[in-house]
Amino acid sequence: MQLARPVGQGASARKYDILTALGAYALSQDKHEQRRVLRLITLVTARYNWARDLLAVGQREIAALWSVDERTVKREMAQLRARGWLVIKRPGARGRVTEYGVDLAQLLKDTSAQWANVGSDFVVRMGQGDHPPDNIVALPVKDVAAPSVADGSEWALAAALVHSEDPGLFASWVAGLTRVERVGGRVTVQAPSRFHAAYVQTHLERRLLAACREVDPEVTELRVIV
């Protein structure tokens, strides 16, 4: 499973999805596994640098966070490495703690059986729907020109506004949306796939509606169809 590290636009939502996957998995397991995953979730939430894929925390600090002794920390960290969820990036040495990375692909593979317990929308969002994330290629920004505003529609103007503010976001998610119709205050746009539509609805609908309202205050709703 190819997985983009959750940084940039939409990163916060993606992080919540990863933690949700871990939580759903834990709740389907016995109490020992639940405690282990809870410890990982707490450690990641408190100390993991998502952008750098870096977890650099001493055993004494982890022991305090987990309310356990350092011997338990060594055993638990070894368990997490053994299953491939944590990987050593740089071994510890005198005066320097061990630096870990998180193998998100392995972690999500191991938790995927429980995604359906969260909901069908979550399954699609995490990439087991008709069009998983590795089938959606974000176009390089330089290859995507600003959209035409020749028709003067609220959607064309809103899309141009998004392009001016965030070309990468426009290239990845907005350029593929096509205006279908305007009925009253509702604007309907069409996405190229169910995954694309679900992502836009979950992560971008509010922002895109705000862009539409900025150019036309009478817009009250943005509908995304496939």
User: For the segment 65-120, what is each residue's pLDDT rounded down to a tens digit?
Assistant: 999 999 999 999 998 998 889 999 988 887 789 999 999 888 988 998 999 898 87
Helix (H) or strand (E) holding 182: strand 178-183
Residues 97 and 151 both lie in one domain? no
What CATH number is given to the structural domain containing 204? Answer: 3.30.300.180
Q: How far apart are CA 2 and CA 13, in angstroms?
A: 18
52-75 mean pLDDT? 94
Helix (H, G, I), strand (E, B) or coil at 6: coil
Six token digits for residue 148: 């035409």
Cα angle: 179, vertex 183, 189; to 5 degrees: 20
Q: Is residue 70 part of a domain?
A: yes
Residues 105 and 153 both lie in one domain? no
Six token digits for residue 193: 């796939």
39-52 mean pLDDT? 94
Residues 98 and 151 both lie in one domain? no
Q: How far apart are CA 224 and CA 52, in angstroms?
A: 34
Q: Is residue 4 part of a domain?
A: no
Q: What is the pLDDT of residue 25?
A: 95
- The structural domain count of the chain equals 2
What CATH number is given to the structural domain containing 82? Answer: 1.10.10.10
Q: What confidence category does residue 6 fall into, taking pLDDT thresholds of 50, 70 and 90? A: low
Q: Is residue 132 part of a domain?
A: no
Digit-coded pLDDT (tens) for 152-183: 889 998 998 888 888 888 888 898 999 999 99
Digit-coded pLDDT (tens) for 16-40: 889 999 999 999 999 999 999 999 9
Q: Is residue 38 part of a domain?
A: yes
Which domain covers residue 185, as residue numbers? 141-225
Q: Is residue 124 part of a domain?
A: no
